[in-house]
Amino acid sequence: MKIRYDGPLLIVADVEAAKHFYETVLGQTVIYHKEKKMVKFEVGLSLISTISFDEWMDDDVKKIFSLSHSSHHFELYFEVDDIVACYEKLRLKTEILWLHGPSENENEQMSMRFYDLDGHVIEIGEAIAATAKRLAAKGIPTSEISAKFSEMMWKGSRLY
């Protein structure tokens, strides 16, 4: 028996509002939609309503399992080539509660974070190839750029 990872399942208060958010704010494509119950996106991300999730559990499980939002135990990570343009577009969306706009990490890769409608943290990072191009345009030597990301080069890693 092979177990295959399919993607995260987020528990949300309002599936239709969350679906709209992920489609319009993050540009995700729906491949399955059961109205007011569940949504699955092309990338493997799924949404399920709190009520539907609760229906799956028996009373013994409900006694030990509790739902909490804004737990900050994980974040959903997306990438873009032009993070500044993405930020300029997203900052106009009034439904976004920002944690921070574009900022650089220790490798000079840029990222930004905000909450979805249910308090799940979303990070949008600059694609590594885009970071490398941006740094090269600043005149940073290729060897120095390569050294910044060498620890990210592991078997199966895709940096572009």
Contact residues for 32 (Cβ-Cβ < 8 A; gap 6+): 38, 39, 40
CATH architecture observed for domain 9-63: Roll (3.10)
Bridge-based pairing of strands 121-126 and 75-80 is parallel
Note whether 151 and 46 are within 8 A (CB). no
Percent above pLDDT 90 for the chain: 62
| Residue 126 structure tokens | 């600059």
Residue that the structure tokens 């009520």 belong to: 51
Question: What are the structural domain ranges in the chain?
Answer: 9-63, 75-156
CATH topology of domain 75-156: 2,3-Dihydroxybiphenyl 1,2-Dioxygenase; domain 1 (3.10.180)
pTM: 0.82
| Residue 43 structure tokens | 């990338």
- pLDDT 10s digits, 48-92: 998 887 777 777 776 676 666 666 778 999 999 999 999 999 999
Return the H-helix or E-strand segment holding 29: none
**Measured distance CA(5)–CA(91) in Å, rounded:** 33
Measured at the CA of 117, the angle between CA 12 and CA 19, to 5 degrees, comes to 65
Q: What is the DSSP letter of 70?
A: S
What is the reported pLDDT for 151? 63
